[in-house]
Structure 1
C-alpha cells in the first residue's frame, strides 16, 4: 500500500510525465529587518527575468512582511508566491507550496550568507527528483557570521547540485578544498548587484525635505560587531550567549564608530556637504545617535541628517543615487549604492565573515577597509579622494558593477541550460 508521501510523489511524477514542468522555484527572502536581505530576492528575480523571460517563477519566502510583498508584486507582476514550510512528513504544509512543488522543475537557492535553506532544497529534490542549485551564496568551512559550517550533510547536498555559484571567490575555494563535486561551480556575485528597484517619489521627497543636495552629501551606515537579534525577535540565545555578544559589541563599538566619525568630520569640514546617517538593519536606528551623531562637534552636527525610520531598499536606492558616496559598516548598502552608480566604501568587521572578499573580487579592493587594520584618517583620506574626483569614481564603480553582472550573466546561462534540460 502506498504511503501518503509516495502517493504525493507519484502524482508529481505523473503530472511531470504528462506535461514537463517548466516553472522555477526560488528559495529566498530570508528576513525583512535588513534591507540587504530584502534585495537578494529582487536582484535574482531580475536576473531570471532577463535571462529566462519565458519561465514562470515561484518565490518560496521566509519573510515578506514590512511591505516587501507589495514591492515585489509591483516589480514582478507575473511572480507567484508560495508561502509555507515542510511538515514532519517531508511534504509541503500549505496548498500554495504543494502547487509550487508540482509545477516546478528547477530549484534555485538564492543569494544568502550561507546555504540557509538546505533542508528545503533537500525536501524539494526528494519529492520531485528535479535538479537544484545555489546562486550567489557564501560557503564557509567553519560556522561564521550567518553562515553554517560545511558538514557531511551539506557536502552531500552540494555534491548533487547541478550548479553552485558562490558570491565571493573565497567560498569557491572552500568548495574546492572540501572536495565538493557539484556539476558546475563558479563565482556569481551577490544578487544585490542586480537590484534595480527604486522609489523615486519617496526618495526624492526625503532628499528635498532634508536639504540634501545631489552630489553634495554622503550616507553613512553604522553596525555592531554581532547583530543583537535578541533585541529584534525571539531567539534561542542563552543568557550567557547574550552577555557574550553584548560584551563583544561593547568592547568595539566606540573604536569602530570613531573611525566613521572621523570620515564624517573630514568630509563635512572639507567640502561643506552634509552626511546622512541611516540604517541597513532596524536596530541601527537606535545606535545612530549614541555612536555617530552625539559625539560629533557642533559645527559638523549642523550638517547632519538622521534617518529616524526604517525604509525599504527601493527608497534607499533612490536616495543613494543622489549621494556623493556611501560609507558603510554593513555590506549591502554599498552594493545598493553601487548598483545605482554611486561610489561606495565598505568598512568590514571580522565578525561579518568572508563576504567582504566580494569587493576585491569585483575590482573595488581599494574601497574596502578592515576596520581593525584601518585608521580613521585613512578612511577619511580615501573618502575625500573619491568624492574629490566624482567622474573617475563613478567610472570605477560602473566598471565593477558591469563585471559583477557579467559574472551573474554567465551563471544564469548555466541556470538556463539546466532548466531546459
Structure 2
C-alpha cells in the first residue's frame, strides 16, 4: 500500500500559545497512531520561523507549506501545489470555528478529495457566511467538536456529516518541553517545584489591535474596560489568600502577547504590600514548550484562559477555568471531561464567589486535585485515540477506493483540478 499523505491545515496565529500548540498536538497524536502517514503542515500566513524551529525540535522532518488556492484551483506556489496533489486527505485542526473554510472548500471542489475536522467549536461566523460554512461541514467525512454544546448545535442546525461526535482539542496532546529555559526561569525567580500556582488574566475580547495589524475596536475595548474589575477581582483575591494562608507562591503568566501588561495592571499592581513579594510576574511572552515545562512543575493553574488549562490537564496538572459570555462555548469541554467543578461562569456572582475556595482547594487537597486531573487526562486520551482511529479508517477507505480505481483504469490514478 502506498504511504498516505495528510495535509494538516492548522496554526492559525502565533500571538498566543494555544494556537501554537494545536498543530504539534495533532502531530503528536498522528505520530503514535498513524506512523505510516506523511503529514504536511499548512499554516496561516503569520506562521514564524521561531515557531517552526520550536516544532521541528520535536518533529525534525516536518514539511511545511504556505500559500493559498486561487479561484481557478491553482495554488499560489509550487510547494503547496505539490503537497495538495500528493495528499489523500485534508485534516482541519482545532479552532474556534472552521477557520480555513475557504481553503477546505477549494480543496474539496478542485481536488475532489475528502476532509475531516479535529476539535473545533461550532460558531463564530457572520450570518451571511453560515450557509456556505454549513454546506462545507456537511461534506466532511467526520466532524469532532471540542465541546458538547457545539455538537448539539450542529445537529440542531441540520449538519449532515456521517460522523459527528465530541472530540477534545488536540492541544491536550501537546508534549513539547523546554526544560532548560523553564528551570532557569524558576531558579531566577525562586519558584520551587510543586510550591507555586500559575495564574492567567485575559480580557473579554482579545485586543488583537495591540498584537497584529488590525483596526482598533472601540466597542470591544469599552467592554474590556467596563468588565475588567469584575472579571479579575476573584483572581486577585485568590492570589492574596494563597499567599496569606499557605506557603505557596503565585506566578502571573501570559497565554497571549497582550497579557503581560494586563496581569501587571489588574493583578500584580493591586496586591497588598505583604503579598507582592511572594508573587512573580512574568514580563515576557513565551512559547508553549517553555510554558508547559513550567506548568508541570506547578501545583496547578487558574485563570480566565483556556489553552494553558488544556495543556495542564494533558499532563495531569490541575487547572481551573473561568469564562464569560463573550467567549465561545469551548469552556464547557471542562464539563465534558469531568471537570465541571473547576469551571466558573464569571457572569454569575455566586460562581465568582466560588473561585477563591476552589483555588485554595488545589493547595489544601493536592492529592485529590492531582487524581482528578489525571482522571480527566485519561478520559481525554481515550477520546483523542478514538479520533485518530476514525482518521485511520477514512484513509484506509480512501486507499481501497484508489486501488479499485487503479484496477478499473488499467493501473493508473489521476486527479484533476
Structure 1 unpaired stretches of 5+: 1-18
User: Is contact 1:217–1:274 with CA below 8 Å preserved after alignment?
Assistant: yes
Alignment partner for residue 186 of structure 1, among 152, 165, 188? Answer: 165
Query: 2:82 aligns to what SS in structure 1?
Result: helix
| 1:385 has 2:342 as partner | no
CA gap 1:291/1:383 in 2 versus in 1, 3 angstroms? same
Alignment partner for residue 267 of structure 1, among 242, 246, 251? Answer: 242
User: Is contact 1:44–1:110 with CA below 8 Å preserved after alignment?
Assistant: yes
> d(CA) in 1 for partners of 2:19 and 2:190?
29
Q: 2:35 aligns to what?
A: 53
Q: 2:152 aligns to what?
A: 173
Structure 2 unpaired stretches of 5+: 398-417
Q: 1:118 aligns to what?
A: 101
Q: 1:153 aligns to what?
A: 132
Q: 1:418 aligns to what?
A: 394
Alignment partner for residue 295 of structure 1, among 244, 247, 270? Answer: 270
Once the two structures are superposed, residues 397-416 of structure 1 have per-residue CA deviations (whole angstroms, 9 ceiling, x without a partner) of 01101111211111111111
Once the two structures are superposed, residues 35-60 of structure 1 have per-residue CA deviations (whole angstroms, 9 ceiling, x without a partner) of 01111111111111111111000100
Q: 1:313 aligns to what?
A: 288
User: Is contact 1:262–1:376 with CA below 8 Å preserved after alignment?
Assistant: no
Once the two structures are superposed, residues 269-291 of structure 1 have per-residue CA deviations (whole angstroms, 9 ceiling, x without a partner) of 11122110110000111112111
User: Is contact 1:324–1:342 with CA below 8 Å preserved after alignment?
Assistant: yes
Query: 2:6 aligns to what SS in structure 1?
Result: strand
Q: Detail structure 1 runs of 4+ shifted over 6 Å in the superposition.
A: none
Deviation at 1:190, TM superposition (A): 0.4
Once the two structures are superposed, residues 239-279 of structure 1 have per-residue CA deviations (whole angstroms, 9 ceiling, x without a partner) of 6xx11111100100112111110100011111122110110
- TM-score, normalised by the number of residues in structure 2: 0.91
Q: 1:231 aligns to what?
A: 210
The aligned length equals: 395
User: Is contact 2:5–2:87 with CA below 8 Å preserved after alignment?
Assistant: yes
Deviation at 1:349, TM superposition (A): 2.0
User: Is contact 1:159–1:181 with CA below 8 Å preserved after alignment?
Assistant: yes
> d(CA) in 2 for partners of 1:322 and 1:362?
23
Alignment partner for residue 90 of structure 2, among 107, 125, 131? Answer: 107
Q: 1:135 aligns to what?
A: 118
User: Is contact 1:263–1:377 with CA below 8 Å preserved after alignment?
Assistant: no
Once the two structures are superposed, residues 289-340 of structure 1 have per-residue CA deviations (whole angstroms, 9 ceiling, x without a partner) of 1111111000100101111111000000000011111012111111111122
User: Is contact 1:262–1:377 with CA below 8 Å preserved after alignment?
Assistant: no
Deviation at 1:89, TM superposition (A): 2.7
| 1:204 has 2:183 as partner | yes
Query: 2:270 aligns to what SS in structure 1?
Result: coil
Deviation at 1:131, TM superposition (A): 1.0
Once the two structures are superposed, residues 151-206 of structure 1 have per-residue CA deviations (whole angstroms, 9 ceiling, x without a partner) of 22111111111111111111110111011111211111001111111111011111
Query: 1:337 aligns to what SS in structure 2?
Result: helix
User: Is contact 2:193–2:297 with CA below 8 Å preserved after alignment?
Assistant: yes
Q: 2:411 aligns to what?
A: none
